[in-house]
Amino acid sequence: MAMYTKKVMQHFLKPRNVGRIANADGVGKAGNPVCGDVLMLYIKVGKRKKKAKSKSNVEEYNVEEYIKDIKFETLGCAAAIAVSSMLTEMVKGKTLEEAKKISNKDIVKALGGLPQHKLHCSLLGQQALMKAIEDYERKKKKQKIKKQKVKIKSRKANEKQKANER
C-alpha cells in the first residue's frame, strides 16, 4: 500500500506557486518544532467589483478583496510541500473571507488524504494562511490610521493658516 496518494505525490514532485512575492501584502509563517517543518506563505491581495443584490432597478457594485497571488517556501517533508502547494491552488482567486474558512481538513480532503502521522502538516498550511491574512489586515489598518493622521494634520494646518489670516 502506498504511503501517499497520487495527488500528494503530484504536488510534492511538481509543486505549484513556489517562491516569494516581492512586496507581499501579507506574510505568514508556521512551523512544527517536533519535525522541523517550516512554511512561509506570501499573499498579494487584489480588489474587484462584485455585483450587489439590489432592491431597485439600478445596478450596484461592492468592492471585494481577494487573493490575487499566493506563493510559498517550505522546508519540510513531502507532505508539508504537497500541503503548501495544494493550499495555494485552493486559495488563489478566493475572497479573504472564503480563504479564512478553509480548514486543514479541507486541504487533506483535496489531497485525497494523508497518513495519520502526517496530518500535522495540514495544520501548517492553514495556520500560515491565517497569519498571512492577519498580517495583511494589520498592515491595512495601520495604513488607514496613518491616512487619518495625515488628514487631521492637514486640517489643523488649514485651520491654523485661516486663523493667521484673520
Question: For position 27, which CATH number holds?
Answer: 3.90.1010.10
Choose, from 9, 35, 38, 77, the residue flagged as catalytic: 35
Contact between 88 and 81 under an 8 Å Cβ cutoff? The reply is no
- Asked whether residue 115 is domain-assigned, the answer is yes
User: What is the value of pTM for the model shown?
Assistant: 0.81
pLDDT at site 95: 96
pLDDT bucket at 107, cuts 50 / 70 / 90: very high
Tally of domains in the chain: 1
- Asked whether residue 15 is domain-assigned, the answer is yes
Range of lowest pLDDT (6-20, 49-63, 83-97, 129-143)? 49-63
73 vs 61: which has the higher pLDDT: 73
Q: Which helix (H) or strand (E) holds 163?
A: helix 120-165
Residue 121 in this model has a pLDDT that exceeds 50: yes
- Can you tell me the mean pLDDT for 125-147? 89
Range of the domain at 20: 6-136
Contact between 81 and 11 under an 8 Å Cβ cutoff? The reply is yes
- Can you tell me the mean pLDDT for 65-80? 96
- Residue 131: count other Cβ atoms within 10 Å of its Cβ: 18
Asked about 77 being catalytic, the answer comes back as: no
- Asked whether residue 17 is domain-assigned, the answer is yes
Contact between 91 and 102 under an 8 Å Cβ cutoff? The reply is yes
- Asked whether residue 157 is domain-assigned, the answer is no
Asked about 121 being catalytic, the answer comes back as: yes
CA quadruple 117, 26, 140, 59: dihedral, nearest 10:
-90
C-alpha cell at 33: 518544532
- Asked whether residue 50 is domain-assigned, the answer is yes
- Can you tell me the mean pLDDT for 134-155? 76
- Can you tell me the mean pLDDT for 124-148? 88
Amino acid in the structure at residue 67: I
Closest CA to 3 of 142, 125, 122, 118: 118
Closest CA to 84 of 150, 154, 32, 142: 32
**What are the tens digits of pLDDT across the range 33-44?**
778 899 999 999
Choose, from 83, 121, 124, 129, the residue flagged as catalytic: 121
Amino acid in the structure at residue 74: T
Alpha-carbon distances, residue 110 vs 40, 90, 94 (angstroms): 20, 8, 16
pLDDT at site 59: 74
pLDDT at site 1: 39
- Asked whether residue 13 is domain-assigned, the answer is yes
Across all residues in the chain, what is the average pLDDT? 88
Residue 111 in this model has a pLDDT that exceeds 60: yes
